[in-house]
Each structure stands twice: as C-alpha cells, then as structure tokens.
A and B are shown apart, each in its own frame.
Chain A
Amino acid sequence: MENLIKVGMADLQTSGHPCVLTTLGLGSCVGIALYDSNKKIIGLAHIMLPSSLQARNNSNIAKFADTGIVKMLNDMLKLGARKENIVAKLAGGAQMFAFSDSSDMMRIGARNVISSKEKLQELNIPIITEDTGGNYGRTIELFSEDGRLLIKTIGHGIKYI
C-alpha cells in the first residue's frame, strides 16, 4: 500500500519516496506540484489566493501562491532535494461559475494560475506541464515514484500529466 497523504485547502505537504500526495476537489484553487526526479522528493500545495501582499490576514502561508511555493520549496530542500532538479506541474484554477456581473471573485482561478507561474518563474523552477482553467473541479494525485500527476474530474475524464 502506498503512503497516501492528503493535502487540505490552504495546506501543503512534502515527502520523500515512496509517497502519493493528493488534494481533493480543486476548484478555483490551484494545486502546485513540485518534483525532484533525482531524489524522488515531492511537494504539493493547495493554494486559494494569488498573493499574500493583498491580504489583510496573511498568517497562513499555505493559503497564498507566493508564500506557499517558497515554503514548499524550502521544505523540499530540507528533505534533501536540489533546487536545480525541481520541476513544477500545475492543475486547477477553474472558473466554477460563469457569472457576468461580479468582478474579481469570478476571475480568481485565472489569477491564481498567473500568480503561481510568476512565482515559479522568479524562482527559476520550470513548469513542465499544466492542466488549468475550464469550469470544472479536479482531484489530483502526485506520485513520488516518477512525478506523474493524476487528474480526475467529473465528466471531463481522467488523465496523467
């Protein structure tokens, strides 16, 4: 049986091999998966908001793309990962409701994705693949064995990226 660890909303987890990190029902939140293929060290964050700088209460660093990614990277380095080996995969950032009249609430998914990409770029972590946007939820599982990311949806298929 694989070692399965759940990552909650506004939460992040890191682990060495063997392990599967999973987060359930990503909507407008973004799942950021980091992987060091040499050391088989993985990290998964379930962020809710793009930036800690715009928030009044930013004590929960796993809630924001900017602070969450930095924390996850540091945790992985502590486990022995090497920064130059780490790659990223992104999933989520959907727009669950079509709404036309309400402003930034409805664009939050896209903004979460943009902010995650900016932070990863700033840290020189390449994004090798992503499954973002759309109007549907995703459950994801990240495998330490080879860094594959399983994406499950309702009505939009199941795939690995």
Chain B
Amino acid sequence: MLLGMEVDMTINIEDLNNLHIDVLREIGNIGAGSAATALAKMLNKKVNMDVPKVKVMEFKEVSETLGGAEILVIGILLGVNGELNGNIMFILEYNAAQVLVNMLLGKPLDELNDFNELELSALKEIGNILAGSYLSAMSSLTNLNIMPSVPDIAIDMAGAILSVPAIEFGKIGDTVLYIETEFLDGNTRVVGDFFLIPDVESYEILLKALGVIS
C-alpha cells in the first residue's frame, strides 16, 4: 500500500512527454485556427496558417527565436482569468505589425511609418481579438471558463519583451513552452508568436481538463 506517501503532482515543463506536447500543439492549432478566422474576418480576406510549432526551450535560446534579442517587436499581453489563470502573449515583428495595421485600415501595405495613436489602438484590438478567439477555442476544448483581460502593448527589443513570459516560466522551471503560429495572407507573410503562460496550478488544470493526466 502507498498510504500516507506524499505524491508530488506538480508537472515540470522539462518532464512533458510526447503526448503532452502533442496535446499542447493541438491546443495551439485550434486556438490559432480560431484566431486566424477572426483575423480573416477583420481583414475581410483569406488568412492561412501553418501548423504551429511547439517548442520547449532553454532561457538562453528564447531571445534568439524572433531573429535576435535586439530586433524590434510588438508584444501584446493579456491576463487570463477564470478556471485557468496566467497570461497570453502575442508577438509580432514590427514590420509585420505595420503590414497588419495597414491591411486593417485599408492603407498601402508598403507605407511604413511609426504607429500613431489610432494605429496603436488598432493593434491592441487585433491582439484582443486574436487572443480572445484563441482563448475561447481553448475554453470550448477544455470546458474551462476562461476570460481575457484588457490587452496591454509594448514596442521594444524582442529580448526585453520576451523576458516577461520567460520570468513567469522561470518561477516553475528552467525552460519556456512556446507555441509559434505563422499567419499567411497571400504573398504577405505575417509571422506571429503566441506564448501561452499558465500559472503553476493552471498548467495541471489544463492537462487534467484534457484528460492527459489524471
């Protein structure tokens, strides 16, 4: 009998097996698929997406993912509340964000200026809609009640922005779980990266809700 034995139910990202990774890829797939549909509606054109890449990375690799720690990116961060708690971050390369905003506002795609107030709030709204549809897909998949908070935006070096999700992962382990989704619009590639960052307890709730762990 194992009575009275303490069992550590805590999951480490390092210990994720192939099944867990597959499940998380599927969550990424469904979430991003739903986000791509929302984006297509918003832009009123067809948006394709690739099968998301799910990677477990060491911290030192994190800032290299978007082509270097010093590259200029847009980070849109939303809190996730409800039965699942944590954060969701959507990262876009600066030029990709400009293309996206130009598409949305019906401006020439090659017009690359700094963002004005209107364009910034358009970007926030894009983040809002993408993350919102990502989360609602996750919510219906898991039957968990999940709500996004109001988005916040930062434009800065990739390394500095990625430090925010990395620190959250740092509290539980030494690696980062990263779901990369690439959106494609005809000839224009818009690469976006989603980081889903459940807090410690929510990680297990998520995998439990999906029946992967008991």
Contact = CB atoms under 8 A, between A and B. Distances in A.
B160 A27 contact: yes
A108 B158 contact: no
Interface string A19-51: 000001111110000000000000000001100
> For chain B, which range describes its interface: under 10, 10 to 19, 20 to 34, or 35 or more residues?
35 or more
Interface string B166-190: 1110111110000000000000000
Contacts of A49: 167, 170-171
Contact of B10 (A56, A105, A136): A56
Contacts of A56: 10, 171-172, 200
Contacts of A59: 174
Contact of A10 (B12, B157, B170, B172): B170
Contacts of A94: 160
B159 A96 contact: no
Given A10-B59, A102-B79, A96 B161 contact: yes
Interface in A50-106: 55-57, 59-60, 63, 94, 96-99, 101-102, 105
Nearest to B153: A97
A8 interface: yes
**Interface SS of chain B: helix, strand, loop or mixed?**
mixed
**Interface SS of chain A: helix, strand, loop or mixed?**
loop
Nearest to B171: A55
A69 B153 CA distance: 32
Contacts of A11: 59-60
A97 B12 contact: no
Contacts of A135: 154
Interface of B: 10, 12, 59-60, 62-63, 68-70, 72, 75, 77, 79, 87, 149-150, 152-154, 156-164, 166-168, 170-174, 200
23 contacts: A8-B60, A8-B63, A9-B60, A9-B159, A9-B166, A10-B174, A24-B63, A25-B163, A26-B163, A27-B156, A27-B162, A27-B164, A49-B167, A56-B10, A60-B174, A94-B160, A97-B152, A98-B152, A99-B77, A99-B152, A101-B149, A139-B69, A154-B70
Shortest Cβ-Cβ A-B pairs, 6 listed: A25-B159, A137-B160, A8-B60, A27-B160, A27-B163, A25-B69
